[in-house]
Amino acid sequence: MPSSNPPPFDEPLKTYFAVQVQRGEQPIRVVEAVMKSAKGTGILFRKLELIDTVSIGTSTFARMRTDILNPFPLLDKLYEEGRAIVCSMQGGEYVARMPGGRMGRVSNLIMHAIPKLGQTQMFRGTKMKHWERQFEAA
């Protein structure tokens, strides 16, 4: 009798967050920075989807979702490296943390909005072999 549970590699991408795109930077480089920080902190995951870019205040963010269950060590590392981040806090509210310590609420509607046409891109996570290669030609 077949199992009703989906295979582990088809886990839904439930963890949403956003990372600041710095001036002159392409969103794929933000994804690469996320992957390198994840590898550096020992976080392994299968997939990361770049959903699109959104403007929050005067900053542009790359909106992403992934199968990482606890993204906080990764996001803290990116924040320490000087990037603003948006992450979910207790109660499901999203908060933007800006360099310098400013914080502000971000609407769930922004974080869970339908992707902008043509911007969505799927990446192999740090758990997969040769994940670094997807950034070589970009």
Which residue reads 């690469």 in tokens? 32
**In-domain check, residue 45:** yes
Q: Is 58's pLDDT higher than 60?
A: yes
Which residue reads 């869970």 in tokens? 112
Query: What's the CATH code of the domain at 116?
Result: 3.30.70
Summarize the confidence of residues 120-135 as an average pLDDT: 94
Which residue reads 């192999």 in tokens? 124
Residue 70 structural domain = 12-121
Q: Domain total for the chain?
A: 1
Helices (H), the chain: 27-40, 72-80, 108-111
**In-domain check, residue 3:** no
**In-domain check, residue 43:** yes
Summarize the confidence of residues 11-22 as an average pLDDT: 92
**In-domain check, residue 49:** yes
**In-domain check, residue 55:** yes
- The secondary element (H helix, E strand) that includes residue 104 is strand 103-106
Summarize the confidence of residues 101-122 as an average pLDDT: 93
Q: Is 117's pLDDT higher than 50?
A: yes
What local confidence, expressed as pLDDT, does residue 12 receive? Answer: 81
**In-domain check, residue 135:** no
Predicted TM-score (pTM) of the model is 0.89
